């Protein structure tokens, strides 16, 4: 059945192409690889908002399908496309269906990637066209979230143990996708050029980036620089390693990111450190992050590598922040993992020096097979400003993901 579905998808697209090329159907589809994901998510948030004295029940069905088609053009060139069935904007996110006040609706289909990859030079790949923004500040592909895309050229080449990357994009979907709008905002400390860029103009800004990645023994290292024309420039340095000590496997990750808005004296910095451990049926994670007094805006998406987040709590865009995250998991069955999770962040805003967000939740991860998984999540989220409790929420989620 799975093979039949894949062949049907290929055939449907190939039929449209054979009209123009007069190519036999069998020839059109034999070099096409199909892959993707289908995700259903149900969120049930019961928010007690103290400022207004109101309770909000927020229940939403989420759907997203990502379909990748990879076609061999010749020995050196591959054509790649990605279609996302989901949101009605350019974010490539979930299609969100509010069950509180709306009926069932259908989802939009978007072409998010259309590019050619050239591999005719040894140890080198060059991708030209519409593609995911493959940088530490963005999320290029996400089965269950928004994606940042753009039109441009990306080149990667490997020399010995080192890989060098360079890219240029002349437009992106950052006006719609990610968290740039909410985290940048129109601030008095921003330059006129930065404030002018907030909105759809954000997506029209040119982006340049270069990165170097390598490995020294068990440690993987990377360094990246990115510039958005007349808006900001930023760099990030990272290192991670894993050590197998017989009974215990230890992992560590450290990253420092700095971002400077053009025409602003504010410094945005975030330092994050994560330690993981696995022993038998137990696994654990402890993460800490801190930001500069001026701000911690260092990512264009809170799920990007340069940011750090749990469920509803993150450190991106928060000034003078201290962030903690703890996880303890138990592999009770080969297919079932149960974990207890906690996250907390203290930070400052323009109106308060004492803002705290906190959450704790339990999660049950079930893997029915290699291509079908699900998780159930239930917990509590609070937000306090000084001695005032702004929000007290009970939150639940069901998430099912199929990979093909």
Q: What is the pLDDT of residue 34?
A: 94
Q: Where are the beta strands (DSSP E) in 280-371?
A: 282-291, 319-333, 336-348, 355-369
Contacts 24+ apart (CB under 8 A), 151-159: 152/128, 152/207, 153/126, 153/127, 153/128, 154/126, 154/127, 155/124, 155/125, 155/126, 155/127, 156/124, 156/125, 156/126, 157/121, 157/123, 157/124, 157/125, 158/123, 158/124, 159/123
d(CA 365, CA 24): 45
d(CA 376, CA 368): 14
d(CA 346, CA 359): 12
Instruction: Give the angle subtended at the CA of 317 by the CAs of 222 and 90, to the nearest 5°.
Output: 85
Q: Which residue has the tokens 């264009």?
A: 300
Q: What is the pLDDT of residue 16?
A: 46
Token readout for 3 is 């093979």
d(CA 33, CA 46): 43
d(CA 221, CA 163): 11
Domains of the chain (ranges, CATH numbers): 31-403 (2.40.160.10)
d(CA 310, CA 81): 31
Q: What share of the chain in percent tops pLDDT 90?
A: 67
d(CA 151, CA 205): 11
Whether pTM > 0.85 for this model: the answer is yes
- Residue (of 343, 326, 239) closest to 286 by Cα position: 326
Q: What is the pLDDT of residue 284?
A: 98
Q: What is the pLDDT of residue 375?
A: 98
- Under-70 pLDDT residues of the chain: 1-28, 49-55, 180-200, 387
């Amino acid at each position: 059945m799975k093979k039949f579905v894949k062949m049907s998808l290929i055939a449907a697209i190939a039929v449209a192409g054979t009209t123009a090329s007069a190519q036999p159907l069998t020839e059109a589809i034999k070099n096409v690889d199909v892959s993707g994901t289908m995700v259903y998510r149900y969120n049930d948030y019961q928010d007690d908002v103290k400022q207004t004295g109101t309770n909000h029940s927020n229940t939403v069905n989420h759907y997203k399908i990502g379909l990748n088609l990879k076609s061999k053009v010749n020995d050196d060139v591959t054509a790649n496309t990605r279609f996302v069935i989901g949101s009605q904007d350019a974010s490539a996110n979930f299609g969100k269906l509010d069950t509180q006040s709306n009926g069932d609706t259908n989802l939009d289909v978007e072409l998010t990637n259309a590019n050619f990859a050239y591999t005719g030079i040894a140890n080198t790949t060059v991708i030209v066209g519409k593609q995911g923004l493959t940088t530490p500040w963005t999320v290029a592909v996400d089965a269950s979230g928004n994606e940042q895309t753009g039109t441009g050229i990306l080149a990667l080449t490997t020399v010995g143990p080192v890989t060098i990357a360079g890219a240029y994009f002349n437009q992106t979907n950052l006006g719609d996708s990610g968290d740039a709008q909410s985290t940048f905002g129109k601030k008095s400390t921003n330059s006129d050029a930065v404030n002018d860029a907030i909105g759809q103009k954000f997506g029209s800004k040119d982006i340049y980036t270069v990165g170097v990645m390598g490995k020294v023994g068990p440690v993987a290292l990377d360094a990246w620089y990115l510039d958005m024309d007349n808006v900001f420039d930023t760099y990030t340095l990272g290192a991670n390693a894993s050590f197998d000590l017989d009974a215990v496997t230890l992992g560590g990750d450290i990253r420092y990111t700095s971002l400077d808005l053009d025409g602003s004296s504010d410094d945005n910095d975030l330092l994050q450190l994560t330690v993981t451990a696995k022993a038998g049926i137990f696994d654990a994670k402890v993460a800490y992050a801190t930001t500069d007094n001026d701000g911690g805006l260092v990512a264009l998406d809170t799920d990007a590598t340069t940011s750090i987040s749990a469920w509803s709590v993150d450190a991106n865009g928060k000034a003078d922040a201290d962030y903690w995250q703890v996880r303890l998991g138990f592999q009770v069955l080969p297919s079932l993992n149960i974990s207890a999770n906690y996250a907390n962040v203290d930070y400052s805003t323009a109106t308060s020096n004492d803002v705290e967000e906190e959450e704790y939740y339990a999660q049950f991860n079930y893997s029915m097979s290699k291509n079908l998984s699900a998780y159930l999540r239930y917990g509590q989220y609070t937000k306090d400003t000084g001695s005032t409790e702004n929000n007290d929420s009970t939150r639940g989620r069901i998430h099912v993901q199929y990979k093909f």
